[in-house]
A and B are shown apart, each in its own frame.
Chain A
Amino acid sequence: MRKIFISLAAVTLLATTACSDFLDIQPVSAVSEAKLLNPAGVEMIKTGMYSTLYASSIQQSLASVGYGDVIAGNANKGSNATDQPPWGELEVYTFSGTNGYITGPWAHFYNGVFRANKLLDVLGKTEGLTDAYILQSTAEARFFRGLYHLEAVMYYGSAVPYVDLEDFQSNVSPLVGNIDEAGNYIYIWDKIIEDFTYAYENLPASYGSSEYGRPNKYAALAFRAKTRVFQSSPYNGKNGTDPSNWAAAKADLEILMNEGINSKGNRYNLYTKYGELFSTGHDNTTEAVFEIQQAITGTNTNGSTVWGSGQYNGLSNMSGWGFAQPSTDMAQSYQVDANGVPLLNNAYRTLPPKSVRASGSNVNTDLTAYMDPRIDYVLGRFGVPFKDWDVPTSYNGYIRDVNNGGIYFPKKWLPTSADKNSASLSVVGNSTSTVMNVNLIRYADILLWYAEALVQTGTPADAEEYVNEVRKRAGNQYVGAAYRVGSTFNSGVAATTSAYVMDNKFDATKSGINAAANYRIGPWPTSQFANPTDAMEAIRYETRAEFAMEGRYWFDLCRWGIATEQLNGYTAYEQNFLTKFTDKFYNDAYICLPIPTRQLQIMDPILKQSESWIF
């Protein structure tokens, strides 16, 4: 027996001595944090923070057409009725806190906050970093922390958790809620402003050629101004807002207008041509305050699709998915009168639509009607060249389900046919891939915010200049009857001698012939700025026309406190064309999305549903 136990013991011993090494298996293809706590590693962690600017789905897109445009009635969801039903709930206002399109952005924004805090965390524990590097990197991290908290505020209201470094370090799942011990909401405006202020004070004014993608100090200031604009806005009296902040917002905007430069060091200015802003080769222009730097390496589409790496806004004939189709309401809103001025008070809704379905699958468009030239950069109309692709006349191939999505299709962010033939400008196989940058704030924002600040601080007449400055630029370019690539017409589109013209009331020399449709644009009359109410009406129209399909409008409607009025008017009108809008109403209380139900459950009791969603 003894022999047995000895041999058994020997076997056991042999096995166990090998055991501790045997069981120590490290994760493969990943690295531990220890390997990154050096200057090169920290820089890569920082880049990892920037990478959150690229969306992997429409829910993560900071150019949030799914929210800023679809909820706002600029576009409907598109595709067909059974595709992405949760998104469909957004367009008809039946969403709740369990909807994946509500939970998605929340997770993305707080992931952005996580990455920013992580950078701050490693900055504090890495040897060998220079003070200058730490200072600038801290400012970058705080810029991002402010940015993502601001996004969370715009989507979910200003009473949302603010996660600072201490919270981040104290618990892997930070225990930060949105109410104080007495149960009152904590509004986080000031903390966001602190982050942007730090970034403004510590970021460089411009960068060398290898770093144009970073925010400079003026970008930080612009975000601080944006925060203050939102903080000053009515929001139906909620969100802890205060109109007295308009003065501070105005002061920020004035600095930007007086001395602001882009990350390349050039003074801010409106870029000459509106249409070119939405084409490749026009990145980081003088209009760029902060842009997502779209880029392609290999066949990866992560950095080159504005709404996530899917083919959301691609057209059916480009193998795209056909989402986010512009609404009839928005298309109609581009109508102008003989002076090139929009039809106020939603008067455009009383006129017959300019595009109507004809026999078969054709759509006829009345190209003689006067339109703001921006319409044909923003959305696809039948009878108008679709960039250099074609002049579509039938919705086959362009629209997936005309009864669900209507007769307009997305255009602004789609690549040209020429781009599709260049592997460096667009990835084959993804109809929406393009390296054109996506602006999060451009100089036109600054001008229109400033105009608004002037109105709100009692000098509406002064706003005229800035609104018209934005409007005037729109007259500098129009879509020709055949799309021009360089000096030649693209072979796919016949060059024609068009009967339509551009009539520029700002500057007759900018008028032109061979337009794709009749365009007309003229200045808002001075009388429009005689009182705050009319001045705001002009600003709202201009904001919608200028930024359509850039994911802005719904957030503005909410802060202006007019979302209900505007959107119930929209569904009442749009149901004439798409029956899904019948009996759909926007709830008065909704100044933001609900905080995701699941997060409320996990963070019970420190996280409370936002005040506009408690009935």
Chain B
Amino acid sequence: MKLPTNQKGIKAALKTLCMVMLALTVSFSVSAQINISGTVTEASGLGLPGVSVVVSGTTTGVLTNMDGTYTLTVPNASSVIQYSFIGYLSQEIVVGSQRTINVVLAEDVQQLDEVVVVGYGTQAKKDITGSVSVVTSETLAESASATFAQALQGKSAGVYVSTTGAPGAAATIRVRGVGSVNGSDPLVIIDGVSGGRIDAVNSNDIETFQILKDASATAIYGAQGANGVIIITTKQGTKSGQARVTYNGYVGVSTMANDGYDVLTAWEMMEFAAEGMINRQNYRGIKATGDTQFGTLQNIDYDESVIVGYEDAAHTIPLYYINSANMTMPFTTLPAGSSYNQILTTMGGTVTGDAETDMNAAYEILKAKYGTSGSANSYALSAYYYNILEGGMTTEEAKVGNDWYDLIVQDGLIQDHQLSVIGGNDKGQYSFSFAYTGQEGTIKNSLFDRYSVRLNSTFNPRKHISVGINSNISFTETSGDRGDQGDGSPFAQTYTTKSWVAPYNVSGTYAGTWNDGGRSNTPLASVDGGLNDWDRNINVQNSAFIEIKPIEGLTIKSQVAATINGRWQRTFNERSIEWNKEGSTYNSLSETASYSLNTQWTNTANYTKKIGSNNITVLLGTEALDQDYGREINATRREYLYPDDPNTWVINNGVTANLSNSGTQRSHTAMFGYFLRADYNWDGKYLATLAVRRDASSKFSDKNRWGTFPSLSLGWRVSDESFMDGTKAWLDDFKLRAGYGTSGNSNIGAYNWATQYATGTNYHYAINGTDNTLATGYAVSTLGDFDSRWETTKMTNFAFDATLFDSKMTLTVEYYIKKTSDMLVSASTVWSDLAGSATKPDVNVGDMKNTGIEVNLGWNDKIGKFSYGATLNISQYKNEVIKLGATDLLTSTRIDNVTITTPGQPIGMYYGYKITGIYQNADDVLNYTNSEGEQVLPYLQNDPAGFTPISYVGRWKIEDFNNDGFTNQLDQQIIGNPHPDFTGGLNITAGYGNWDLSSYLYFSVGNDLYKQYMNYTHYGSLGSNYVQDRRDNSWSNENPDGIYPLWTGAASEASETSSLSNNLYVQDGSYARMQNFQIGYKLPNSLIDKLGVSNFRIYGQISNLFTITKYDGLDPEVRSSNDRNKGIDYGGYGIPRNYIFGVNIAF
């Protein structure tokens, strides 16, 4: 369906081109006899600017102006006027007696005439033989999103996008599987300039969006093309003579789409700790030594005979005796779990025995002693007593403790405003826009702000010469939690910080996590600490071009571009003595400034010639790229006197002792290449494209600097053959295509070839034996590989495109085989440690293969005023590592070796032990057998007689994978596959009159996810809180079906529980998500015409409306920038749910 205010992407892109053509070819011969005027509109009644209105058979013609009106003089009444506009069906009308001719142009739903931007030029979509996906700006506009990467998700088969829930978050984009272990980010080209920043482009500025997927399409980008190429063009001016002003904007609210984890409340955690102590006695015969916070237990029945102690009668007192104190919630948690009676006793109060009196007295004593000092060592109440004494809660209410999740989430305001002016005339065209995007995250103090200004202009000083500038300046600021995977984020702290930790201590500073409350500071301290920290970027992408058309069919273009990026980061680190262990006793300010400059010079000559039925286009070009020229400098000082006042946060206000500074130069690289592309078609029926690029990169030694990347693709429009006449009734168009090509990847260090020596404090030594002088040292810091060369990807592509049933249905099916050879892998997989510990270069040792199928199916129809459409894309790939160095590549989180990349398997498979059950009793321990029926000893036991079976009861049975009778490191195996069986998107649109509706569903099926967060929520890593699942589903005699090990307290978890990767971490992460649901209404023309407004549409949108999944984590969309860590879920807060109200207005 059509959204009236949003320009058809491709059509609009070609508006300019079309008008240029007309300007060149139409001469204004005037033999005025009949003056005709009228308006050309589209079906909705909206005037169409720029429509070519030509007297048929002549060169006489005009273009419609902004509101679609035109006047034209024709020779006589029998003249035929031809109305044509790209994307619409042309009409011819005999003038006759008419003097006012109003024409309604019907949309050409058969979009085969679309022109697609391919490398360094354009091609008619129908003539394309490579694999190119087009995402129209209309499709992108269907969802309001901050960055184009977010808008791109699932819109095109074979293109995988994942992002995080943070405002303006980074995204991972993969085209056709995983090309390399080195990172497989596609090349992004914005207006012909390489390496654009995805978050610097305002998605409203985008005119066209193409993804080149196969090597026959990407080979023209040679060494940079192996992972696919995304080509973006932005909106250009028009020659209509009138300016079109549009405003697009929305305001909305961003909310959490989940409620966090079911972590234990303060009171539940205390009970859970007690349960652990009881279990330890009952099952392990070990007396509780007490909990650092909750103390010890009372009146537990236990059998003295099993207590481990001293047999000598004189020493029967166990080391840690269970005393008679009741287990109660501690009064203070920092610095220790103490009762109020203990506080009174140690701080000079009087214990009266009345609970209420004593509690208040202890509180007053603490306040008096620490209330004003602000000392970080001052006492903190437990959250329970904090709730009572400072929150005024009842004891029952207070038991919950602190809900950290509630303390740091928020509903964020999101808004986006863009004003654009597009216009121009024969002599010059311009497109100007100003946009502001402001997004508050769903975590407090997280935000993304972007101001961008774009000016694209073209001037035509001579008939055959045009010059122009495309300029984009954007300023972005991000702050706060970025939603990245890892356990250090404020959100992760909501489950790593226990509920009994209070928000503040008695002096009003943040309470800490000393003594097992969690790992570091509290999430509250984190989000508050992030206030006024920033990360600011200015990105300026400027390019200037000159285009000359000396003769018919030939276009010579030269473009120079400079992209300048400046980045400033400011981080204020508050004193954090309250942290568990990595805290700091002083505050500090750190500022980092850096800049980089990328320059590019591209020269192309394009020649098109039609000789009979032979259509030939030849493109020749050269390109030079100089990237990452720039530096970075950092300064840090300490001990700021007014940490609360950001105005004082400048480096100079810190003390000069212990200051630090550092600076580096960016990894500067250069690349140069020549390229050629030749397109040939015979009458649109037989098609061929040949492309060759030869590239050189400074990353390689001059020995292996050059690489050549050829490709060839062929197409056959079968439907044009005479033997297909019988199918014309239902088959409009059918094209077969096949392609083969190579492209390269050099995603390695800038100086991979060079052996380098470095100096610095790590290389110095106090040769003179004194305490404060170091002699300067140098050593090999990086070994180079003089022989390394391009990683080459060879891709074969087979496809067909079909259009059926009067263009109502379109179908494209593609199959590809993508082989990466000479994959650059760190030499540490083939060079032993005898080569020293200097950084190893990447060397060509690996091979990888991807095969895949992509299907795009579309249906569009219109019944009266009702129109509807659906587009379904499905992609599937299979990745296999063919060859690696001498060792597998393993990755670790806080758990060792969670993924393995090994020949014969896809990259980044989940790796670990397989749990087969729980030892139910001592006999079960002894009778556990492997698949060959032999006894298997418990984990890491190697002596059948050397262990006590009873001590393994309640622990995991681990599969003896190698059947050697032992369970140890050799039993690790592949336990999950992070790669989906298929992914896809379903886009459904409908319209009725002025109403329109669009929705977008994304799905991923068959991929496993790795629930890394369980290491915290289930096994207490970093002193984390526990979730109800661990409490309720742990094995015990009462719960023999429990899947988690017997709970005996955090400190006595078995090593296999806390530190081994196992299959319980792995779960199917399939999901389907309604990513977007939008309803719009266009105000009737009758209403808005009077206002001089040509279009006024309002819409409402909900993003992330619902998710269907069986996955237990918070969000099945898990972003990993490294393919070897794909799908490892640290428990990020996931994609938010946004409610948006927006308007589109055009004048």
| Cβ contact within 8 Å between A47 and B775 | yes
**Nearest 10 pairs between A and B by C-beta?**
A212-B769, A114-B836, A48-B779, A47-B777, A30-B756, A173-B831, A295-B766, A50-B765, A85-B1059, A48-B777
CB–CB A602/B832 < 8 A? yes
CB contacts (< 8 Å) of A89 on chain B: these are 1055
Decide if A456 is an interface residue (CB 8 Å cutoff): no
- 1/0 per residue, CB under 8 A from A, across B773-784: the answer is 111111111110
Chain B min CB distance to A612 (Å): 13
Chain A residue with Cβ nearest B888: A601
Q: Which residues of B contact A79 (CB under 8 A)?
A: 581
Q: Are B767 and A27 in contact (CB under 8 A)?
A: no
Is B774 touching A295 in the complex (CB atoms < 8 A)?
yes
Q: How far is the CB of B657 from chain A (nearest CB, A)?
A: 7
List 12 A–B pairs whose Cβ atoms lie within 8 Å, in order of A's numbering: A16-B672, A32-B756, A80-B516, A82-B894, A85-B896, A172-B783, A295-B766, A298-B660, A316-B514, A351-B315, A401-B292, A582-B286
Taking the closest CB of chain B, its distance from the CB of A583, in whole angstroms, is 5
Shortest C-beta distance, A532 to chain B (Å), equals 30
Of all chain B residues, which has the CB nearest A598?
B887
Decide if B1059 touches A602 in the complex (CB within 8 Å).
no
A198 to chain B, nearest CB (A): 21
- Which chain A residues have a beta carbon within 8 Å of chain B's beta carbons? 1, 3-4, 7-8, 11-12, 15-16, 18-19, 22-33, 35-36, 41, 44-51, 53-54, 56, 79-82, 85-86, 88-89, 92, 94, 96-100, 106-108, 110-111, 113-115, 118, 161, 163, 167, 172-174, 176, 209-214, 263, 280, 283-284, 293-300, 302-303, 316, 319-322, 350-353, 356-357, 359-361, 394, 396-397, 400-404, 423-425, 427-429, 435, 575-577, 579-580, 582-583, 585, 587, 596, 598-599, 601-604, 607, 615
What per-residue 1/0 map shows which CB atoms of B613-627 lie under 8 Å from chain A?
000000010101010
Q: A3-B550, A4-B556 are in contact. Are A401 and B1051 (CB under 8 A)?
A: yes
The smallest C-beta distance from A76 to any residue of chain B, in angstroms, reads 12
Q: How far is the CA of A297 from the CA of B777 in the complex (A)?
A: 14
Residues of A within 8 Å of B832, CB to CB, are: 110, 173-174, 599, 602-603, 607
- Find out whether the CB atom of B556 lies under 8 angstroms from the CB atom of A85: no
Assembly CA distance A575 to B767 (angstroms): 45
Contact between chains at B896 and A300 (CB < 8 Å): no
- Find out whether the CB atom of A118 lies under 8 angstroms from the CB atom of B779: yes
Given A81-B1053, A303-B766, also A294-B836 (CB < 8 A): no
* Least distance between A205 CB and chain B CB atoms (Å): 16
Query: Given A19-B672, A22-B672, A319-B585, A54–B336 Cβ distance below 8 Å?
Result: no
Alpha-carbon distance A23/B750, docked complex (angstroms): 11
- Say yes or no: A30 contacts B758, CB within 8 Å: yes
Known: A25-B668, A424-B772. A44 touches B759 (CB 8 A): yes
When the two chains form their complex, are residues A26 and B754 in contact, meaning their CB atoms are under 8 A apart?
A: yes
Q: Is B672 touching A11 in the complex (CB atoms < 8 A)? A: no
Q: Is there an interface contact between A357 and B1055, defined as CB atoms closer than 8 Å?
A: no
Kindly report which residue of chain A lies nearest to residue B780, judged by CB atoms: A118
Residue in B668, B838, B1019, B1059 whose beta carbon sits within 8 Å of that of A28 in the complex: B668
- Is the C-beta of B255 less than 8 angstroms from some C-beta in chain A? no
Most buried by A among B624, B770, B885, B896: B770
Q: Is B1020 an interface residue (CB 8 A)?
A: yes
Q: Please, which residues of chain B bring their CB within 8 A of the CB of A396?
A: 335-336, 514-515
A172 to B1023 CA separation, bound complex (whole angstroms): 44
A579 touches B771 (CB 8 A): no
Contact with A along B208-247 (1 / 0, CB 8 A): 0000000000000000000000000000000000000000
Contact mask for chain B residues 416-448; partner A; CB cutoff 8 A; 1 contact, 0 none: 000000000000000000000000000000000
Identify the closest chain A residue to B295 (Cβ). Answer: A360
Which one, B172-180, B304-312, B645-653, is touching chain A?
Answer: B304-312
Are B762 and A51 in contact (CB-based, < 8 A)?
A: yes
**CB–CB B624/A22 < 8 A:** yes
> Which residues of B, 484-505, contact A by the 8 Å Cβ criterion?
none
Tell me whether B833 and A107 are in contact (CB under 8 A): yes
Min distance, Cβ A539 to any Cβ of chain B, angstroms: 29
Within 8 Å CB of A212, what residues of B? 768-770
Give, as a whole number of angstroms, the nearest-CB distance from B637 to chain A.
11
Known: A25-B698, A299-B658, A424-B772. 16 other contacts (CB 8 A): A4-B550, A12-B674, A16-B672, A28-B665, A29-B665, A46-B777, A50-B765, A85-B1055, A88-B1055, A110-B834, A173-B830, A173-B831, A213-B769, A319-B581, A351-B315, A352-B310
Contact A23 B658 (CB under 8 A): no
A111-B836, A176-B834, A424-B772 known; A23+B943 contact, CB < 8 A: no
Which residues of B sit under 8 angstroms from A99, Cβ to Cβ? 896
Binds A, one of B589-597, B601-609, B729-737, B1086-1094: B601-609
Least Cβ–Cβ distance between A313 and chain B, in angstroms: 13
The answer to whether B319 and A41 have CB atoms under 8 Å apart is no
Within 8 A of A (CB), among B636-671: 657-658, 660, 664-665, 667-671
CB neighbors of A among B875-911 (8 A): 885-887, 894, 896-897
Per the bound structure, the CA–CA distance linking A194 and B323 in Å amounts to 63
- How far apart sit A577 and B660, CA to CA, in the bound complex (Å)? 44
Across-interface contacts of B696 in A (CB, < 8 A) = 19, 23
Cβ contacts under 8 Å, A22 to chain B? 624, 626, 670, 672
Q: What residues on B are CB-neighbors of A108 within 8 Å? A: 837
Q: Tell me whether A113 and B834 are in contact (CB under 8 A).
A: yes
A163 close to B834 (CB less than 8 A):
yes
Chain B's closest residue to A212 (CB) is B769
Which secondary structure dominates where chain B touches chain A?
loop
Min C-beta distance of A441 to chain B, whole Å:
16
Cross-chain contact B837 with A111 (CB below 8 angstroms): yes
Would B1052 and A579 count as touching, CB distance under 8 A? yes
- With a cutoff of 8 Å between Cβ atoms, the chain A residues found around residue B292 in the complex are 361, 401-403
With both beta carbons as reference points, the residue of chain B lying nearest to A88 in the complex is identified as: B1055
Q: Given the complex of chains A and B, what is the CA–CA distance between A126 and B231 in angstroms?
A: 53
- Are B605 and A4 within 8 A (Cβ)? yes
Which residues of the partner chain A approach B514 to less than 8 Å between Cβ atoms? Answer: 316, 396
- Closest chain-A Cβ to B708's Cβ sits at a distance in Å of 15
A614: min CB distance to chain B, Å = 13
- Report whether A211 and B762 are in contact in the complex, using a CB–CB cutoff of 8 Å: no
Question: Is the CB–CB distance between A24 and B698 below 8 Å?
Answer: yes
**Is B697 within 8 A of A23, CB to CB?**
yes
A213 CB contact (under 8 Å) in B286, B750, B767, B778: B767
B831 → A minimal CB distance (Å) = 4
B660, B698, B766, B1023 — most chain A CB neighbours (10 Å): B766
Bound-complex Cα distance A173 to B829 (A)? 11
Task: Please tell me if the beta carbons of B577 and A32 are within 8 angstroms of each other in the complex.
Answer: no
Known: A4-B605, A25-B669, A295-B771. Is A357-B289 also a contact (CB below 8 A)? yes
Q: In angstroms, how far is the closest chain A Cβ from the Cβ of B800? A: 37
A209 to B757 Cα, complex, angstroms? 29
Tell me the minimal C-beta distance from A598 to chain B in angstroms.
5
B948 at the interface (CB under 8 A from A): yes
Residues 699-728 of chain B: 1 if any A CB is under 8 Å from the residue's CB, otherwise 0?
Answer: 000100100000000000000000000000
Would B896 and A98 count as touching, CB distance under 8 A? yes
B672: chain A residues within 8 A (beta carbon): 15-16, 19, 22-23
- B325 cross-chain contacts in A, Cβ below 8 A: 359
> A293 is contacted by which of B697, B769, B783, B1055 (Cβ under 8 Å)?
B769
Q: How many angstroms from the CA of A509 to the CA of B1020 in the assembled complex? A: 55
Distance to closest chain B CB from A89 (angstroms): 7
Q: Which of A79, A80, A357 has the most CB of B within 10 A?
A: A80
In this complex, what residue of A is CB-closest to B620?
Answer: A8
Task: Answer whether residue B913 sits at the interface, using C-beta atoms and an 8 A cutoff.
Answer: no
Give the chain A neighbours of B951 by CB distance below 8 A.
Answer: 582-583
Interface flag for B465 (CB, 8 Å): no
> Which residues from A are CB-within-8-Å of B943?
585
**B1021 touching A82, Cβ below 8 Å:** yes
Chain B: CB-nearest residue to A297: B774
Contact between chains at B323 and A359 (CB < 8 Å): yes
Q: How far is the CA of A238 from the CA of B696 in the complex (A)?
A: 56
Give bound CA distance, A302 to B954, whole Å. Answer: 45
